[in-house]
Structure 1
Amino acid sequence: MNDTPGNAPDDRDPAVHDPNGNASYGHKPFERSRSHFADRITADGREGRPVEAGRYRLVVSRACPWASRALVSRRLLGLESALSLAVADPLQDDRSWRFTLDEGGRDPVLGIRYLSEAYDAREHGYPGGVSVPAIVDIPTRTLVTNDYQQITLDLATEWTALHRPGAPDLYPEHLRAEIDEVMEGIYRDVNNGVYRAGFADGQGEYEAAYADVFRRLDLVSERLTRQRYLVGDTVTEADIRLFTTLVRFDAVYHGHFKCNRNKISEDPVLWAYARDLYQTPGFGDTVDFRHIKQHYYRVHTGINPTGIVPLGPALSGWLTPHHREELGGRPFGDGTPPGPVAPGEEVPAEGRP
């Protein structure tokens, strides 16, 4: 997660460097920083890191929408046995993401207590934020990349030799220009827009971000009245990127980030679309609503100083019929759904509807 204002030269993340999550941004607009470590893992190793089964570990927080993209992509593509998974505690201390969910407070594969240790191994004294998703080289316990925009694209296009049989094509070449265009607007106005609204420290800044969020959601809703998925007739990277914001919207962004014109559940098209994806294997089975709410409401004390975590909204609606199949489309194209969730990676009952 890289909830980063662009005030300081190193674009530090308030939820990482300030354990209270306070945001005092000097009336500068929220600006998400670029990933500092942008190495790529490619099929031929042309950028120095070759795809290799078992060599790397994906570190995520289930609270983080940017990390959740990687979780969904990894599931849909069947990369569980090739790319192992570490899940950080949704709550952070002054050293940021920690492995307190694991026995002894250490990641069992990397042997480290904090993700920052892998960052330090890569660049000692690195001054920037420790963000997820991150991919770590297991033999050296060294960070490879935290480039949340590129990681999932590479999982879809560079890791193909390790995809499961029947894996969908999440970034089909003939649709990439359209996918990129759709994703750019969604990223700017929705994925990042909710943060611009939530971390705004001026009324005008907040109102501009709020307007962008709902203008884009209205455009997306109109688009989805005619087709089941954002681009083409199958699930693509664009759907993954929109889903991870929609699934957090009513639980967090509507109240906590003041994006409260309406809930997603009050837009019939977006609510049906979100439920369709949630009920598609590989999407909802990666979502932990408890982690999401614990992180946002307890870490961002500059926004929620009491640290009280709301009990609602009710989650049962996520499992109700959506009828989106009436628009046609096949979620996996000529492929097949992913198999059961890997042992040990199941979302606990308290995080599910």
Structure 2
Amino acid sequence: MNELSHLRQDAFAPAHTADIADALVKTSGLRIEGDRRRGRGAGLNPSGRFETERREAFDDGWQTIEELEPFRTEVQVEKPRTAITRNDSPDIPFDRSINPYRGCEHGCIYCFARPSHSFMGLSPGLDFESKLFAKPDVPKLLERELSRADYKVRAIAIGTNTDPYQPIEREWRVMRQILEVLQKANHPVTIVTKSSLVTRDIDILSDMASKGLAKVAISLTTLDRKLARSMEPRASTPAKRLEAIKALSDAGIPTAVFTSPIIPALNDHEIERLLEAGHAAGATEASYVLLRLPLEVAPLFRDWLLQHYPNRYRHVMSLVRSMRDGKDYDAEFGKRMKGTGPYAWQIGRRFEMATKRLGMTRRGMPLRDDLFVRPNGAGIQLSLL
């Protein structure tokens, strides 16, 4: 197999040779090569787990693969029935969120949201970052939901699944309109993003923050621009994210640095540097999540490792499995975010020591929920009495 020639010999300890070879065999027929995937994160585009058929590209001797067009970003309109998604997960600090988009052009190879594209009959691989769905009706739906007499105010989290400030937001501006609704209603909101585009909305966010209604977390995974380019190809560069932290902080907006995901033997050595850089830029809060590889994300990530860091493949996956009870991923509540075992414990203690030394909090002051002004009720039938 040609791919084997690209791997260094030190990656082939006898106990792991079969593991690496097995990964190569499973992905080689699915890999999208060359200019077709330039600027994208995933190297594969496998069928979703709900599909009854699986298709594989192969060279039949007529060079038809090379003639296929590159993956281009396509956006369709999705018509959701509701704006707010609710959850009762015991290990996350919010019970409601909004997703302005489905899929994400940033193309982060580790994104745990990739499997959600299978519900649309699309691939969690390249389809996830090129076949996107915008939800332009969400602002109106949100206003209607906030108008209901039985609505109870709690902070809404945005950016917990796909990034609300991904590149297509420049044109669609769904996130901007959502913030306008929340600002008018004095409704608390928390945002997570890895895009400097968030600074476009400083006018709204600073006004909300002055009332204790808004927080922003910037995801900063590495300071190595080369690693960021391959791991998060269309996200803002590390330098741009630090500039965004400073701009938000200078505008009086409580800002956190989200050093996630922590990937053993790849970016875990940067934990302290990431926190120091975020703190220097103005972040006062910090948090982290260990690499998560649910469902189709695991083979996509393993293939990416083989392509970009073949000499680290064995070491990275060995450490990942040591923190996941011998598996690529453990979805159990309480374990999925931080992992278990000595290495996971070490990462947690390093993070705690660094944040304590820098004076950063793990969880800041809660947002206010007593200023809420119920909207007039766009689309809601008014009572006759």
Classify the TM-score, shorter chain.
0.3 to 0.5
TM-score by length of 1: 0.38
Structure number with greater Rg is: 2
TM-score normalised by length of structure 2: 0.35
